[in-house]
Amino acid sequence: MTFSTEQFLARSNEPKHADEAKLASAYVAADRNLGEARISLISHISAEKKGEKFIPVFDSGVKECIPALTSAEEKAASVGADVSKYLELLRDQPSVAAMTEQLGRIRIVVRNSEFSAKSVLDQTVKASKKTSGEAMVDPKVVDGYAKAERLSKENQPAIDDLLARIREARQILEKY
């Protein structure tokens, strides 16, 4: 499930999403500033009657509004793009913390399989009085290390993906 901007803004007030609060606040502030700049521009429009029709006319104060409006539009677009990119990076996770937890769970699975293979080797060495090198050819040891290597290879793309997404999401959050 990908989160919408509205869902992101609503949940950013929760304590567990405090790391996102500054980004959400910047988004709200940029949106508010853009609205105020537009209102300021509109306040300089009046209606002038030309024949049977009214046409909009800008007064001389409109020139001072244009730089503020342009700046507000650029800021809103920039922050909006950051929020969109951040939400894209999260994919189905609710936060960077959740992605980090998922990464940790995957790494534990891989480490546990490696530990299990090492335990089988140690047990084989003890039971058979062989050296570690000799015990490495035992079918149980070979299977244990093969399983650990398979799990490592299977999970490496997910680990790399999560690491890259976490790093990029944190870079976005650090801007704010």
Res 8: pLDDT: 83
Please check whether residues 71 and 134 belong to one and the same domain: no
Structural domain that includes position 46 = 5-90
Judgement on whether residues 86 and 101 belong to the same structural domain of the protein: no
CB of 23 closer than 8 Å to CB of 86: yes
Same domain, yes or no: 9 and 85: yes
DSSP single-letter state for residue 44:
T
Residue 12 and residue 30 in one domain: yes
Q: DSSP letter string over 109-128?
A: HHHHHHHHHHHHHHHHHHHH
Same domain for 121 and 60: no
- Single residue among 69, 90, 111 that ends a domain in this structure: 90
CA 84 and chain centroid, separation: 9
Domain boundary residue among 90, 109, 139? 90
116 and 68 in one domain?
Answer: no
Per-residue pLDDT of 3-26, as tens digits, reads 688 888 887 777 767 778 899 999
Shared domain for 113 and 167, answered yes or no, is: yes
- C-alpha separations of 131 from 24, 135, 140, 141, 154 in Å: 60, 6, 15, 13, 30
Q: How confident is the model at residue 73 (pLDDT cuts 50, 70, 90)?
A: very high
What pLDDT score was predicted for residue 14?
A: 73
Q: What is the C-alpha separation between 76 and 82, in angstroms, rounded?
A: 10
Using the 3D structure, point to which of 90, 118, 140 is the last residue of a domain: 90
22 and 63 share a domain?
Answer: yes
Domain count, the chain: 2
pLDDT (tens digit per residue) in 107-134: 999 999 999 999 999 999 999 988 989 9
Q: How far apart are CA 144 and CA 138, in angstroms?
A: 10
What percent of the chain stands above pLDDT 90?
72
pLDDT at 1 exceeding the cut of 70: no
Q: What is the pLDDT of residue 2?
A: 61
